[in-house]
């Protein structure tokens, strides 16, 4: 189906023989991505921290399709040691066709990752940067492998406080969330540029789920109470998964950005999405890349463009 008409779960082709990692796959949008890929006969590694939740998600999917091939992948994006361990496990797979970076945190009180980074920047960006970077060699073994990075409409008006990345001086949770999502947008933009310059077989694509009614907003307090009232305006988790499914399995442009194309870009079928001009700023993207290498100690080895 042409992207101009929109992409839904029904457009996901058979994925027999392919293997995907989906982070945050035990609930919400991540669960729906894993469900669709698994029921389309892909092998799916469900990356999440909690084994019980991961295995429960697998059991729920197997009720729909008992023959689905899935496994729990222990992964905590807030701990770079856990990221490295997950990469070691994934490296034993015969092939890896796609990494779908879906997991994230939204608007928590000030918290830190195991390595001491501000939680939202640490999990949403640094953990994703490290996981993606370390898996690039494995992905490159498979023709047409893809990396999907999940941003948000919150990136549109966000800015990164380069002088206080770790929130040592100030912390406004909504601003830090937006900054982490801008970082995601800059990441897939820069990753695409570097992969293409290096003639890598791996493609980088960005997505956003619109405004999906999921547990991601559990720190939003009273705002959650409005959920039943405004629910008709939001994407549910099933529809929120469509952009990532398009990016992972559909016809896309390298470095493209995809999201809902209905109701102001917050719900509906998936197609090409709007991103902020500063999310395509090569100087900002290069700066973020270099900062990320320094903070994580992980270098993808892709030279600057």
Residue range 223-232: average pLDDT?
48
| Pick from 79, 95, 86, 107: nearest CA to 144 | 95
- Tell me what the pLDDT averaged over the chain comes to: 92
| Pick from 277, 247, 276: nearest CA to 259 | 247
The tokens for 254 are 């390298």
Query: In angstroms, what CA-CA distances link 20 with 27, 75, 131, 246, 263?
Result: 17, 14, 14, 14, 30
Residue range 64-75: average pLDDT?
96
**pLDDT cut 70: percent of the chain above it:** 91
CB 109, CB 177: distance < 8 Å: no
The reply to whether 299 falls in a domain is: no
Q: Spot the catalytic one: 171, 177, 257, 258.
A: 177
The tokens for 41 are 């006969």
pLDDT one-digit tens code per residue, 107-164:
999 999 999 999 999 999 999 999 999 999 999 999 999 999 999 999 999 999 999 9
Q: Which residue has the tokens 């059991």?
A: 59
List of residues 6+ apart from 43 with CB closer than 8 A: 18, 19, 20, 69, 70, 71, 93
Q: From CA 104, how far away is CA 146, in angstroms rounded?
A: 19
Q: Does 227 have pLDDT greater than 90?
A: no
CB 267, CB 210: distance < 8 Å: yes
- Residue 241: the pLDDT is 96
pLDDT one-digit tens code per residue, 153-211:
999 999 999 999 999 999 999 999 999 999 999 999 999 999 999 999 999 999 999 98
- Residue 222: the pLDDT is 38
Confidence class of residue 233 from pLDDT cuts 50, 70 and 90? low
The tokens for 267 are 């719900």
- Residue 225: the pLDDT is 42
- Residue 216: the pLDDT is 43
| Overall number of domains in the chain | 1
- Residue 265: the pLDDT is 79
Q: From CA 111, how far away is CA 25, in angstroms rounded?
A: 22
- Residue 213: the pLDDT is 58
Q: How many CB atoms lie within 10 A of CB 114?
A: 12
Concerning whether 177 is annotated as a catalytic residue, the answer is: yes
Confidence class of residue 221 from pLDDT cuts 50, 70 and 90? very low
The reply to whether 300 falls in a domain is: no
The reply to whether 301 falls in a domain is: no
Residue range 211-236: average pLDDT?
52
Q: From CA 167, how far away is CA 181, in angstroms rounded?
A: 16
Q: Could you list the residue range(s) of the whole structural domain that residue 119 is in?
A: 3-294
pTM of structure: 0.93
Q: Does 251 have pLDDT greater than 80?
A: yes
Q: Does 3 have pLDDT greater than 50?
A: no
The reply to whether 46 falls in a domain is: yes
The reply to whether 185 falls in a domain is: yes
pLDDT one-digit tens code per residue, 23-44:
999 999 999 999 999 999 999 9
CATH assignment at residue 40: 3.40.50.720
DSSP labels, 120-169: HIIIIIIIHHHHHHHHHHHHTTSTT-EEEEE--GGGGG----GGGTT-SS
Annotate 53-83 with three-state secondary structure: HHHHHHHHHHHHCCCCEEEEEECCCCCHHHH
Triad 88, 96, 99: Cα angle to 5°: 85
The reply to whether 305 falls in a domain is: no
- Residue 127: the pLDDT is 98
The reply to whether 302 falls in a domain is: no
Q: From CA 170, how far away is CA 112, in angstroms rounded?
A: 14
The reply to whether 303 falls in a domain is: no
Q: Which residue has the tokens 């994703």?
A: 128
């Amino acid at each position: 189906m042409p992207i101009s008409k929109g992409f839904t779960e029904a457009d996901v082709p058979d994925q027999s023989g392919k293997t995907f990692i989906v982070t945050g796959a035990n609930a919400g949008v991540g669960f729906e991505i894993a469900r669709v890929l698994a029921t389309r006969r892909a092998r799916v590694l469900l990356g999440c921290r909690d084994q019980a939740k991961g295995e429960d998600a697998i059991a729920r999917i197997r009720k729909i399709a008992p023959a689905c091939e899935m496994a729990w992948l222990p992964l905590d994006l807030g701990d770079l040691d856990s990221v490295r361990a997950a990469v070691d496990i994934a490296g034993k797979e015969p092939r890896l066709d796609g990494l779908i970076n879906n997991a994230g945190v939204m608007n928590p009180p000030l918290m830190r990752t195991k390595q001491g980074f501000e939680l939202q920047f640490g999990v949403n960006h640094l953990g994703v940067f490290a996981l993606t970077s370390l898996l690039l060699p494995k992905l490159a073994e498979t023709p047409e492998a893809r990396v999907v990075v999940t941003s948000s409409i919150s990136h549109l008006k966000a800015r990164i406080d380069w002088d206080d990345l770790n929130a040592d001086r100030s912390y406004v949770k909504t601003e830090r969330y937006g900054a982490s999502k801008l970082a995601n947008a800059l990441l897939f933009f820069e990753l695409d540029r570097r992969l293409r310059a290096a003639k890598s077989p791996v493609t980088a694509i960005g997505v956003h789920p619109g405004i999906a009614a999921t547990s991601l907003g559990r720190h939003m307090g009273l705002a959650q109470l409005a959920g039943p009232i405004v629910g008709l305006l939001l994407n549910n988790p099933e529809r929120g998964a469509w952009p990532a499914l398009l990016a992972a399995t559909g016809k896309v442009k390298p470095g493209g950005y995809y999201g809902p194309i209905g109701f102001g870009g917050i719900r509906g079928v998936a197609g090409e999405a709007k991103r902020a001009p500063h999310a395509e700023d090569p100087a900002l993207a290069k700066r973020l890349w270099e900062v990320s290498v320094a903070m994580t100690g992980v270098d993808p080895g892709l030279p600057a463009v």
